[in-house]
Amino acid sequence: MNIPIFVLLNLLKVAVVTVIFLMAVAYTVLLERKLVGRIQNRWGPSRVGPFGLLQPLADGLKLFLKEDLMPSAVFRPLFIMAPIIALSCALISIGVIPFGENIRWHGVDMFQIADLNIGLLVILGVTSVGIYGIALSGWSSNNKYSLLGSLRSSAQMVSYELALGLSVIGVVLRTGSLRLRDIVNLQNTHGILSWNIFGGLQIVAFFIYLCAAFAETNRTPFDLPEAESELTAGYHTEYSSMKFAMFFMAEYANMITVGCVATVLFLGGWSSPFGDLFPAFGGPVAQALLPVFWFVLKVFSFLFLYVWVRGTLPRFRYDQLMGFGWKFLLPIAVLNVMATSLVLAFHG
């Protein structure tokens, strides 16, 4: 193996994935604005570029050029650190997600940045550290709305993390591995029938994961940390310019990551829904890129669902939110783990 080429290719891979990820974040914002617009019977952004396709560029430029206001009574070091923590945690977890088959070129895995034995745990760990971004931003802003928003958010994320963690255990039990490639490979045999959500009978786990993931990313119907009618803007009330943009990007990056994890765990990752029904076509390049297409399509439908839910459901009340997490999702998740282990013990 040629070491300089190996290092160079790896750096290139990281750069490419990061750029694509950030572009995807920008366009998810546009997707949301367009879709929510159509759901509410209006057009959404349509002026900048064809169909408003250049809108993210204009938004980014606007945020970048805005004055960076620093309120006088904030706790400076944490006020600056909080958005950095939020965004970096949101960006790290994409590093363990496999986008396509394990195809190597000069010894470099083309479609995954890091193939870890404990990839799933890394994602859970990074998510749990990401809470600090929100918790510290609210506290350091010296603003009661921000503080309330961040208190709500920390409590909500800690509560739903339990349900989230338990919901993926069924999948891990079935696979017997925490490596994301192993989890996808198990679902790769008979197309849609062997995906964990159908063939693995993990549909309950998928439902729990879905609810917990919506709560973890602070999205409607669980967007209480930033409930604008009661908390102005929640934890990022005092932020402006790029610091606000970092929170904004972190939220959408988390949405995409959650979509990627759901795809990998429950929807068969990069595997085609038809299995080997159709003969292979095209050259090796087409065969390498087709799985990536399926992966992107699945993540896209997950993001579509996110926006659809936002346009449809009203917000929970806070006690309803906590009750739902602790009294409903958690017991079901425990039952799902027990049922899956029993089935695996007697039939597996």
* 122 is an interface residue for another protein by CB under 8 A: yes
- Contact mark string toward another protein, 159..198, x via CB under 8 A: --x---x----------x-x--------------------
Task: Single out the residue of 53, 54, 78, 103 in contact with another protein (rule: CB under 8 A).
Answer: 78
What's the closest the beta carbon of residue 125 comes to another protein, in angstroms?
Answer: 4
Both tokens of residue 129? Answer: 């550290």
Tell me which of 141, 154, 263, 340 binds another protein, using CB under 8 A: 154
The label of the residue with tokens 């908390």 reads 231
- Residue 112 tokens read as 């995954």
Supply the minimum distance, in Å, between the C-beta of residue 11 and another protein.
18
Whether the Cβ atoms of residue 139 and residue 147 lie closer than 8 Å to each other: yes
Tell me which stretch binds another protein (CB under 8 A): 32-40, 151-159, 215-223, 284-292. 151-159
CA 164 from chain centre, in angstroms, equals 13
Stretch of 118-126, 227-235, 287-295, 321-329 contacting another protein, by CB under 8 A? 118-126
Quick one: tokens of 336? 């799902």
Residue 130 has a CB neighbour count (10 Å cut-off) of 25
What's the closest the beta carbon of residue 82 comes to another protein, in angstroms? 11
Q: Is 158 in the site for another protein (CB under 8 A)?
A: yes
Helix axes 241-265, 203-216, angle to 10 degrees: 170
- Considering only 149-157, 206-214, 227-235, 291-299, which stretch makes contact with another protein by CB under 8 A? 149-157
Beta-carbon contacts of residue 102 (< 8 Å; ≥ 6 apart): 109, 111, 112, 115, 181
Q: Does 203 bind another protein (CB under 8 A)?
A: no
Instruction: Write out the DSSP string of 70-107.
Output: --TTS-HHHHHHHHHHHHHHHHHGGGG---S---EETT
CB of 117 to another protein, least distance (A): 6
Task: Give CA–CA dist 54/106, Å, rounded.
Answer: 37
Cβ distance to another protein smaller for residue 139 or 294: 139
Report, in Å, the least distance between residue 43 CB and another protein: 41
Closest to another protein by CB, 147 or 332: 147
Distance (Å, rounded) from C-alpha 301 to C-alpha 256?
A: 11
**Minimum distance from CB of 178 to another protein (Å)?**
6
Count of residues binding another protein (CB under 8 A)?
Answer: 29
Token pair of 210, please?
Answer: 């879905």
**Residue the block writes with tokens 């925490």:** 178
* Phi then psi dihedrals of residue 104, to 5 deg: -105, 140
What is the binding site for another protein (CB under 8 A)? 75, 78, 116-118, 121-122, 124-125, 127-129, 131-132, 135-136, 138-139, 147, 150-151, 154-155, 157-158, 161, 165, 176, 178
